[in-house]
Amino acid sequence: METFDTSDMSNALNDVSNRKTNMNAEAAAVAREKGWVEPQGYDYSKYNASVPQQKAPESTEATDLPNVEEPEWAANAAKYEWSEEFGDVGPPNPALEKMLFHNEFTNRAGLKFETLREIKVTAESREQPKPVKSFSDAGLHPIMLENIRLCGYRTPTPIQAYSIPAVLTGHDLIAVAQTGSGKTAAFLIPVLSKLMGKAKKLAAPRPNVANGFNPHVDAVRAEPLVLIVAPTRELSTQIFDEARRLCYRSMLRPCVVYGGAPVREQREELQKGCDVLIGTPGRLLDFMDKPHILSLQRVKYTIIDEADELLQSDWETEFTKIMSGGDTNEDADHRYMMFSATFNKECRELARKYLADDHVRIRIGRAGSSHLNVEQQIIYSEENKKKQCLYDLLISMPPSRTLVFVNNKTQADFLDDYLFNMGLPSTSIHSDRTQREREDALRAFRTAKSPILVATGVSARGLDIKNVMHVINFDLPSRNYGGIDEYIHRIGRTARIGNEGLATSFYNHEKDSDIAPDLVKILIECKQNVPEFLEDAKPADGVVTFDDDTDNEGEEQHDESHETTAANIESSAAAEEPANWDAGAAAAW
């Protein structure tokens, strides 16, 4: 049989596809006129190319700063590599320091930072940890203080002011704080600081990677001292980036493992030694099933970020195995911590199964609340006109990083395609995209090459990107998509650490009536305007109450509960107890 020649057909298809475009030229011209950059399509050819792993710069001369390209995978990002020649503290590495701390895309505290410090704080425990008023007074390791300075952190946020002493005094911890309030640093700073002076004694043997690494000869089993679990890949890599900064010049070596990226490269990073392991449940359990690669027997701290998500029933099996350590693990010197912005009663009850009786509970504001730095507006839109409403909204405002949330993956693709063809620089992220596509999309969004990101809930948990000025709920989250808790996490992607932001939501009675009562409560609580079409959803008596804020969960009488604001800490720090605290004032939650 003769070979069937397809070259003519292929050439014809290429010719047609290269000529055809769905771009609306008139709309694209308007987008350029309004200041939006040109949209960029995917370059799929690069996905077949091999990109070398990013290495930590070896030079310590400031004049030899390399022009470092982004790593192919977030897990391969450069970190401070310890050498056996170092003493207790490693020497500075200016090239790496520039990469870690002086990146123009790193988020910084905003002008409304003081607003965070005025939020009511409720701290409950048998032994009340005294909040710290400054990092310098917190009893932190000198290298940690220097890394905090390099990060640009000037004053502890409320969650940091209370979490740092709780961890340093050896307590288990549940901490609930509003989005963008500094929760990641609240657990990394005290935990890493406590270990910095003990790493040589506590850490497992490791190869001297400063002299090179041969996985066939030098590989060791990873035995981390800290385990941090997060529900999404994006949040895990974000925590890893913060850990890289705060571990700088110390012996502590952070690693991250998550699905979708090559197992081999993550395994080799673990085999170089790992003191701080961040991971998503699936990939973490895969490595836990290979005890020659990973053992959790040395873990001193287990931290669950976005804990309410991982306490849901669909995570129960994985969560139980992770919390048990997977293998031999002495609990006597093992501390557990759980952090989130939302934490309902059922999740709090389940959390107590894993925590010591004397654990500390810290709540910044109301559990599940937003903060006043986010301006919220609700726009009524019929379903068939939402795309045009979105385009008109984007064109009517100055170009800025904008997150557009939808409820499903198909909608994300369709909406991204629509915006792209209207000449707007969009990209999208959801769980059906490959991990490389997801990381590329976030990188394009972070660097403003594609300043409009269409996303499903995969990005709603913990994502922290500089200058996200606008969050748009193209689809409001119904009860099936997380309801009001999901809404809080979504709008919390803007107005981070004292910056301001805008959250716009499209609403119509046919699809969104189930969330209307909770949405109106949030608007009233945050002193936002309630539109006329939601007037009927206001509480009949005009009094806003939240069922999950105060539990009456049967806490023992000897638990102490105190309320204050972080702004009051400084004025009352000289007293034995803060003057504004009222013992027993806050109900147990």
Angle between helices 409-421 and 386-396 (to 10 degrees): 50
* Strand 360-364, strand 120-125: pairing: antiparallel
Residue 261 and residue 55: Cα distance in Å, rounded?
18
Report whether 494 contacts 502 (CB < 8 A).
Answer: yes
* Strand 560-565, strand 120-125: pairing: antiparallel
Tokens of 371: 């903060």
Report whether 174 contacts 228 (CB < 8 A).
Answer: no
Residue 164 and residue 148: Cα distance in Å, rounded?
13
Report whether 301 contacts 225 (CB < 8 A).
Answer: yes
Report whether 442 contacts 476 (CB < 8 A).
Answer: no
- Give the length of the chain: 589
Q: Give the DSSP letter string of 318-354.
A: HHHHHHHTSS---STT-EEEEEES---HHHHHHHTTT
Which strands make up the sheet holding 468-473, listed edge to edge? Answer: 374-380, 501-507, 468-473, 401-405, 452-455, 426-429
> What pLDDT does 470 receive?
95
352 phi and psi, to 5 degrees?
Answer: -65, -20
Going 120 to 107 to 458 to 286, the CA torsion angle's sign is negative
Place of tokens 């009051």: 568
Report whether 198 contacts 361 (CB < 8 A).
Answer: no
374 phi and psi, to 5 degrees?
Answer: -100, 120
Residue 272 DSSP one-character state: T
Report whether 118 contacts 141 (CB < 8 A).
Answer: no
Residue 159 and residue 189: Cα distance in Å, rounded?
12
181 phi and psi, to 5 degrees?
Answer: -105, 5
Output the tens digit of pLDDT for each of the chain's 589 residues.
Answer: 455 566 666 666 555 555 456 889 999 999 999 999 999 876 666 655 554 455 555 544 443 444 444 457 889 999 999 988 888 789 999 999 999 998 876 655 544 445 545 656 777 777 777 899 999 999 999 999 999 999 999 999 889 999 999 999 999 999 988 777 889 999 999 999 999 988 889 999 999 888 889 988 999 999 999 999 999 999 999 999 999 999 999 999 999 999 999 999 999 999 999 999 999 999 999 999 999 999 999 999 999 998 888 887 777 778 888 887 654 445 568 999 999 877 877 777 778 888 888 889 898 877 656 667 889 999 999 999 999 999 999 999 999 999 999 999 999 999 999 999 999 999 999 989 999 999 999 999 999 999 999 999 876 677 888 889 999 999 999 888 789 988 988 998 887 766 789 999 999 999 999 999 999 999 998 899 999 999 999 988 777 887 654 444 434 434 555 566 555 555 554 444 433 333 332 322 3
Q: Give the number of other Cβ atoms within 10 Å of residue 347's Cβ.
A: 20
Burial-class residue 154 by CB neighbours within 10 Å (0-12, 13-18, 19+): exposed
Going along the chain from its start, the domains and CATH numbers come out as: 74-364 (3.40.50.300), 374-537 (3.40.50.300)
